[in-house]
Amino acid sequence: MKKIFGAKKDKGPPPSIQDATERINKRGETVDEKIKKLDEELARYKEQIRKTRPGPSQEAIKARAIRLLKHKRMYEEQRNMLYNQTYNLDQVGFAADGLKDAQQTMNAMKAANKELKGMMKLSKLMKLIICKMK
């Protein structure tokens, strides 16, 4: 059957929350760079609009600037979506860490409880020995 359908590929471990957050942040940084380039280009167009006389050439420059503004707005929305994903991943990571801490606390409490019970038995035994000695 393996010859016909092939064997199941061995998948690596799934990415951790930290890995996913870093990857999304890296994508957010590239979008930020694109926005920065668009800002620089918009500043150039703004300067050109100021220098040109009103007319068809100025209108053409304005049209290009408006297109760039639409691109910039789109990139800003994408960046906001990426940062919202990062926020959500951070919240999940925080909740997971809280659960791990609670589990460790529970295990420590169980161990301490066991130790206290052992000490109580030892203390009762010592009292019995002392009472019999009297």
Instruction: Please state the pTM of the whole predicted model.
Output: 0.66
In a domain, 4, yes or no: no
Top pLDDT among 81 and 7 is at 81
In a domain, 9, yes or no: no
- Mean of the pLDDT values across residues 99-103? 93
Q: What are the CB-based long-range contacts (under 8 Å, 24+) for 94-103?
A: 96/17
Query: What is the 3 state secondary structure string of 2-21?
Result: HHHHCCCCCCCCCCCHHHHH
Residues of the domain holding 34: 17-133
Instruction: Report CA Rg, the chain.
Output: 33
Per-residue pLDDT, 128: 76
Count of structural domains within the chain:
1
- Mean of the pLDDT values across residues 21-47? 94
In a domain, 5, yes or no: no
In a domain, 21, yes or no: yes
Per residue in 39-92, pLDDT (tens digit) is: 999 999 999 999 988 999 999 999 999 999 999 999 999 999 999 999 999 999
In a domain, 68, yes or no: yes
Per-residue pLDDT, 109: 94
In a domain, 123, yes or no: yes
In a domain, 106, yes or no: yes
In a domain, 128, yes or no: yes
Per-residue pLDDT, 110: 92
Q: Do residues 128 and 59 lie in contact, with contact meaning Cβ atoms separated by under 8 Å?
A: no
Per residue in 104-132, pLDDT (tens digit) is: 999 999 999 999 888 888 887 777 777 77
Q: What is the DSSP string of 61-114?
A: HHHHHHHHHHHHHHHHHHHHHHHHHHHHHHHHHHHHHHHHHHHHHHHHHHHHHH
